[in-house]
Structure 1
């Protein structure tokens, strides 16, 4: 049985304007926090979908916390509409790019992390410092955290397909090691 890969965070970026007056944006958007002495961008938290948007003077915007690219797109469209309705000059349909996805899965087995650390290249395992094994995979280019419980976190993903490929590779590697 294949373990189920669950996307838990999608980070996207886009550009919604040539430039923005963040003081003005802070007045328009309801859940906006703008404290330039602490952070150069404006932070806007939405409850539906549950995401945080970081908006910068340059017009660049990052959205984090979404469970899918579609969810991030809904949030960004919501913000664009609010800004447009308030008379701000923003782009109608900006290109939205996935920067990072984080996924989790349960392998359904308890892997021997010491064996994996010994036999697999690009792994780090120092249980005194961190309970998981860190595996920097080259293809797909992702970072995988493997825990003794069989739980796995994959980060650096650009697509769900990459996540499935990484998961398959991990399972094959662990099976090979267990058969030795």
Structure 2
């Protein structure tokens, strides 16, 4: 069986540390920062590209919702430009990919029942979840659906996600 597929990045979550503890109240001086400790213990810095950075008192920051790898560094740089007006960010670490999600579609429909028997390391209980869960390692998972759609979650790099897709193709061919 020839396996043809298309796929794209649908979400990237990156995070890092600013190098020190942060006074979130001080960041309220920025027009694009919001923080309400009664609502949530982190504050939100809105970037010009529409992304929001969640910043915590510990200095940890998270940038969810990135759609392209090329947007990671400019988003980090913009965050640093804003924060450096009010706090020392000289020890801030560059963001690392924590979760890269890819969505795709195979050219053909799948029999998840057959695959659940044939493939190793799978979970399939259609009464609980309509897809087959294929675990490649502790953090990397592929969700497969009857329609031929698939989602790769938990990758730490594009290379890791693409390797999972290659492995998926190989498993489906066998």
Give the TM interval when normalised to the shorter protein: 0.7 to 0.9
Q: Please report the RMSD computed on the Cα atoms of aligned residues, expressed in angstroms.
A: 2.1
Q: 1:163 to 1:70 in 2, by over 3 A?
A: same
Tell me: higher relative CO, structure 1 or 2? Use CA pairs within 8 A at least 6 residues apart.
2
Instruction: Tell me the TM-score normalised to structure 2 length.
Output: 0.87
Structure 1 runs of 4+ off > 4 angstroms?
A: none
Specify the alignment match of 2:134 in structure 1. 135
Specify the alignment match of 1:40 in structure 2. 41
Q: Helix, strand or coil for the counterpart of 2:28? A: helix
Specify the alignment match of 1:165 in structure 2. 163
Post-superposition CA distance 1:125-167 (Å, at most 9, x none): 12222111111113x9510000111111000101112222211
Could you tell me which of 8, 11, 18 is aligned with 2:10?
8
Shift of 1:47: 5.0
Shift of 1:170: 1.5
- Does residue 103 of structure 1 match 2:102? yes
Instruction: Tell me the TM-score normalised to structure 1 length.
Output: 0.85
Stretch deviating more after TM superposition (96-105 or 164-173): 164-173
Q: Is the 8 A contact 2:19 2:91 kept in 1?
A: no
Post-superposition CA distance 1:97-118 (Å, at most 9, x none): 1111111111111111001111
Matched residues, number: 172
Shift of 1:83: 1.9
More helix by share: 1
